[in-house]
Structures are given as C-alpha cells and as structure tokens.
C-alpha cells in the first residue's frame, strides 16, 4: 500500500501513471505548454483510459534541456492542477524545486515525482510535513549534460541501488514515513543503452528495503536505439518495455499511452494469476 495524500494506492497490480506534459519542448512531442484547456482534456482522457494516477510536469527534464524559471513552471502547472483537484485519481507533480513542491501540495497534488530525489536544498522540508507520496529517482549528473558521457565504475545496478538506499536513509531520518516512498532507477538519466538494459534486466535489484519501484521507459531514446524508430513510432516498443518492467517487479509504470499499456498489463497479469 502506498500512502499518496488522501489516496491509498494498492500496488497489488501494477499501477499506470499517465504522463501529462506541460512543457513546450517535450522530446516525445506531447508538450501542452500554454494550453491549459488541452492539458486538462488530455489528463481526463488518460483517466478515462484507465490511468491510476497522473504525472504533471511543467519543467522539461529531457536530456539537454535548459532549466525553466520558477514563475514559468508555476504558471504552467497551477491552473491545470487546480482544475484537476477532486478528480478520482491522485495527481503527481514532476518537479525538483521546493517552492513548486509546496505550491503543488497546497493545490491538491498527492505525489511529488523528483528527478533529483529530494537532493536540492529545502526539498525534504517542502514535503516532510505533508502525507504525499514521493518518487526518489536516480540520475547521474544534470539534465543539460547527463547523456554526454555517463560513467559507472563497477556495476550500474549496484551504484543505482546504493544511491537510492542512501536517499531513503536520509529521507526517513528526516521523519518521512516509509509507506510514502517509491524508487526509480531513472531510465535514460545519465545512462548508456547498455546501462538501461542492465537496469531493466535486473530491475528488482535496483530498489531497496522492499520499496515499490516505478519505471519510466515510455518513448525513450533507448527504445529508438533498439528499434530504429523515431519517437512518434515507439508505441509497440513502449508497451513491450512496460510489460517487461512489470514482469521484473515494477509497481508503477509511467507512460504516455495509457489504454494500450493497460491492455498489455492486463494480459500479463492474467497469465501471472494463472501461474499461482
Ligand atoms: C522519468 C521521470 C521523466 C522517469 C520519473 C521522459 C519526469 C523524460 N522521465 N520521472 N520524468 N521517472 N520518476 O521521457 O523515468 O518522460 S522526463
């Protein structure tokens, strides 16, 4: 069970997190910046398609992205968040800025998805006093430069696990309950194709203390490298990756294509149930 604001998410079957991107330069071509109405409609379509939660992001964190100002991020985010308050699924906000975390929680967000794993000054304090869920993600380096030359000295899976366990220890020491935490190896965040494949193959080893794992692989360049497809043609690869992530232990799947992923996971789940 994941505590997620006013929600309790059962992680018995993999949960589908639908991506709603409020940035203008989304690599996957789904950016909805400056179009609040379209963003809200997109979120509702994903909820109707069976999303168990929504991830709203107003700052681009794709490789090579330049930072967004605080005012710009809040201006993109808050109208959408306000409109979705009271919707039937938890809303996660993808941000690493403590000010945005506080504003998001005040406007009804139930989860904070932080690619910096609460490492920015003030981030732990911004979420500590609430009961939101928190996704702690591994990233080597910074978005602007992380894909230039990722280096792991021994074993990427071990290093990711050590990092995540260190973050969990610090966050728990600050008084945040363990049932609020989700861990994420951060596919594509300072990792080569080989690193990403090793992490997917050994996903169960990238967590720690039995905390649930979130996997975000949807439309990512690792799928382009494998299939030779552009970002617009990575649906099949994304769905395959989501099923593999679930089979390797992921409890939350962060995806663009909710309906398709849901069907694929339902098939995997049916076969799993028949096995036991
Ligand atoms: C991830 C993510 C992105 C991910 C988590 C993209 C914000 C790039 N990827 N958050 N965010 N995990 N937790 O391709 O893998 O969507 S942005």
Q: Where are the domains of the chain?
A: 2-275
pLDDT at 141: 92
**What is the C-alpha separation between 271 and 202, in angstroms, rounded?**
21
Q: Please, which pLDDT band fits residue 62 given cuts at 50, 70 and 90?
A: confident
The tens digit of pLDDT for each residue in 129-142 reads 999 999 999 999 99
**What is the C-alpha separation between 45 and 169, in angstroms, rounded?**
38
Query: Does the pLDDT value for residue 247 go beyond 70?
Result: yes
pLDDT at 28: 64
Whether 191 sits among the annotated catalytic residues: the reply is: no
pLDDT at 202: 98
Which range, of 140-149, 180-189, 231-240, averages the lowest pLDDT? 140-149
Q: Above pLDDT 90, what percent of the chain?
A: 86
Q: Please, which pLDDT band fits residue 64 given cuts at 50, 70 and 90?
A: confident
Looking at the DSSP bridge assignments, the partners of residue 57 are 21, 94
C-alpha distances in Å from residue 203, one per residue of 14, 141, 150, 159, 212: 14, 21, 19, 13, 11
Burial 208-229 (b: 16+ CB within 10 A, else e): beebbbbbbbbbbbbbbeeeeb
Joined together, the tokens standing for residue 227 give 């299939």
Burial tier of 274 (Cβ tally within 10 Å: 0-12, 13-18, 19+) = exposed
Query: Does the pLDDT value for residue 168 go beyond 90?
Result: yes
pLDDT at 209: 92
The tens digit of pLDDT for each residue in 187-238 reads 999 999 999 999 999 999 988 899 999 999 999 999 999 999 999 999 999 9
Ligand 1 mean position, distance from CA 226 (Å):
19
pLDDT at 245: 98
Ligand 1 atom at shortest distance from the alpha carbon of 55: 7
Sequence-distant (6+) residues with CB within 8 A of 49 are 18, 258, 259, 262
Compute the mean pLDDT over every residue in the chain, rounded to the nearest whole number.
Answer: 95
For residue 77, which of 100, 50, 102, 46 has the smallest C-alpha distance?
100
Q: Is 143 in the pocket of ligand 1 (CB under 6 A)?
A: no
Ligand 1 probe mutation, 92, 164, 214, 216, most atoms within 8 A of CB: 216
Neighbours of 201 (CB within 10 A): 12
pLDDT at 25: 66
Q: Active-site residue among 191, 219, 254, 262?
A: 254
Ligand 1 mean position, distance from CA 186 (Å):
7
Looking at residues 26-30, what average pLDDT do you find?
64
Query: Does the pLDDT value for residue 63 go beyond 90?
Result: no
The topology (CATH level 3) of 2-275 is: TIM Barrel (3.20.20)
Q: Is 59 in the pocket of ligand 1 (CB under 6 A)?
A: no
Signed CA dihedral, 204, 19, 218, 270: sign only: positive
Query: Does the pLDDT value for residue 274 go beyond 90?
Result: yes
Ligand 1 atom at shortest distance from the alpha carbon of 188: 15
Q: Active-site residue among 220, 234, 251, 262?
A: 220
* Radius of gyration (C-alpha) of the chain in whole angstroms: 17
**What is the C-alpha separation between 26 and 60, in angstroms, rounded?**
7
């Amino acid at each position: 069970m994941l505590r997620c604001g006013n929600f309790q998410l059962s992680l018995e079957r993999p949960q589908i997190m639908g991506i709603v991107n409020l940035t203008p330069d989304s690599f996957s071509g789904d950016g909805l910046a400056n179009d609040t109405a379209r963003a809200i409609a997109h979120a509702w379509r994903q909820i109707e398609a069976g999303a168990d939660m929504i991830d709203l992001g107003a700052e681009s964190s794709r490789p090579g992205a330049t930072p967004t100002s605080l005012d710009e991020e809040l201006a993109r985010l808050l109208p959408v968040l306000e409109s979705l308050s009271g919707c039937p699924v938890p809303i996660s906000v993808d941000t690493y800025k403590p000010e945005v975390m506080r504003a998001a929680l005040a406007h009804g967000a139930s989860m904070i998805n932080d690619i910096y794993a609460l490492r920015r000054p003030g981030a732990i304090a911004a979420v500590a006093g609430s009961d939101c869920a928190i996704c702690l993600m591994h990233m080597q380096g910074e978005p602007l430069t992380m894909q230039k030359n990722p280096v792991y000295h021994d074993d990427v899976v071990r290093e990711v696990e050590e990092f995540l366990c260190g973050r969990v220890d610090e966050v728990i020491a600050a008084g945040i309950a363990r049932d609020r935490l989700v861990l994420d190896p951060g596919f594509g965040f300072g990792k080569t194709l080989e690193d990403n494949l090793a992490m997917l193959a050994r996903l169960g080893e990238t967590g720690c203390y039995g905390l649930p794992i979130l996997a975000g692989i949807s439309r990512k360049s690792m799928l382009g490298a494998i299939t030779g497809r552009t970002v617009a043609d990575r649906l099949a690869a994304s769905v395959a990756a989501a099923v593999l992530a679930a089979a390797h232990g992921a409890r939350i799947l962060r995806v663009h294509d909710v309906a398709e992923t849901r069907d694929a996971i339902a098939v995997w789940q049916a076969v799993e149930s028949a096995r036991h």
